[in-house]
Amino acid sequence: MHGNKAVFFFCFTCCTSLILYYVMPVYALMVMFGITSISLPPIPCDSGSAPKICKKSPGSFVRTDTMIPDCPFIYKRKPYGHPLRSKPSAATVKGKRVSEWIISQRAAMMNSVLKRSVVNGLNLQRGLATATAVAPRLKNFKVYRWSPDEPSKKPYLQTFQVDLNECGPMVLDALLKIKNEQDATLTLRRSCREGICGSCAMNIGGRNTLACLCKIDQNESKDLKVYPLPHMYIVKDLVPDLTNFYQQYKSIQPYLQRKSYPEDGKEILQSVEDRKKLDGLYECILCACCSTSCPSYWWNQEQYLGPAVLMQAYRWLIDSRDQAAQTRKAMLQNTMSLYRCHTIMNCTRTCPKGLNPGLAIAEIKKELATD
């Protein structure tokens, strides 16, 4: 018995919810647009008197008083007897008031949504019309060009015009736009576009930096010149040959070297203090911006290791987990590998990661001097 009541109550609740949330809003919209009308008998006011009925046309009546304030509807009913009927019960009046209030609230909500949608649509159209009317902001990019397919042809600067309104904020965005839309033969390295890989290192506006981190100068009257990294052999266009750079990096043996390992086979632990010593060193991404800005490296790339490689040498030299410190110092103890640094500090000024290779080189010199 109780189970039947529970099922009946559940079904009744579901049907009521469907009517309140789906049927009534649709019916209210139909009434708003004049598709149909709500046929309700007149509801007496609180004083108990009959509502005011005005005859609109033969066979129809219009209510001039509504029980719900600001109700947007005109309630119509078709005659089915005398318009003034007997006073309904209090429960009937209350139920009809609730129904009218639900219909009016949901209709008002839908009406508000429709109006807001129309207004937003007009604003969107105005915005699009305004955007198309903006004058183009053309900026000249002078890009270094040279191809090994034409070795007899000297390198030159080719000018490209880019509309800054249709381009991203970084120099790499402009170069990719040129490559995709104007000249597909333009050659450059790029990968992460987040200053992590170091692939897009080049000389922009006279400074070595990463194209993905260098913002475009918004001064349209000033041309922006883009060259490959200076004093390097060129593969093509903006691509330098980094073979010697990576060979020098390999020569410092950039990996942990140990003579003994923990007996239990676990990892080699490191204290927090020892780990902090590596801050400002391990973040190097080997983009070669610092080395190619160093006059000493320009003078003798074959023997002088350069700021980037020397900073990595110091990183492994002070690592508490490494046991080859003396071997590493012996490799650096000569007049060319290390001591060609004259603290010009171009390396520190140009580092796109904000590191200080000059300080690392000075620390290596101090380590060697104290031995």
For the chain, the domains span 2-132, 138-240, 243-260+271-370
In three-state secondary structure terms, 126 is helix
Specify whether the CB–CB gap between 206 and 171 falls below 8 A. Answer: no
Sequence-distant (6+) residues with CB within 8 A of 346 are 290, 293, 294, 295
The token duo for 71 is: 């109700």
pLDDT given at position 34: 55
Q: Is domain 243-260+271-370 annotated with CATH 3.30.2130.30?
A: no
pLDDT given at position 87: 54
CATH class of 138-240: alpha beta
The token duo for 255 is: 């990996």
**Dihedrals phi, psi of 160, to nearest 5 degrees:** -125, 140
Q: Tens-of-pLDDT digits for all 371 residues of the chain?
A: 555 656 666 666 666 666 656 666 666 556 555 555 444 444 444 444 444 444 444 444 444 444 444 444 444 444 444 444 455 566 666 666 767 777 777 777 777 766 666 555 545 455 545 555 689 999 999 999 999 999 999 999 999 999 999 999 999 999 999 999 999 999 999 999 999 999 999 999 999 999 999 999 999 999 999 999 999 999 999 999 999 999 999 999 999 999 888 888 888 889 999 999 999 999 999 999 999 999 999 999 889 999 999 999 999 999 999 999 999 999 998 889 999 999 999 999 999 999 999 999 999 999 999 87
Rounded-to-integer distance, Cα 144 and Cα 175, Å: 12
Neighbours of 291 (CB within 10 A): 31
Largest CA distance in the chain: 118
CA-angle at 351, arms to 347 and 354, nearest 5°: 120
Strands (E), 11-137: 53-57, 60-63, 76-77
Tokens 């171009």 found at:
346
For residue 197, the surrounding DSSP H or E stretch is: none
Amino acid at 128: L
Rounded-to-integer distance, Cα 226 and Cα 142, Å: 6
Question: Of 280, 307, 286, whose CA–CA distance to 199 is shortest?
Answer: 286
Question: Of 213, 196, 197, 214, whose CA–CA distance to 205 is shortest?
Answer: 214
pLDDT given at position 120: 56
- Buried b vs exposed e over 72-86: b needs ≥16 C-beta within 10 Å? ebebbbeeeeeeeee
pLDDT given at position 187: 97
pLDDT given at position 133: 66
Rounded-to-integer distance, Cα 5 and Cα 254, Å: 79
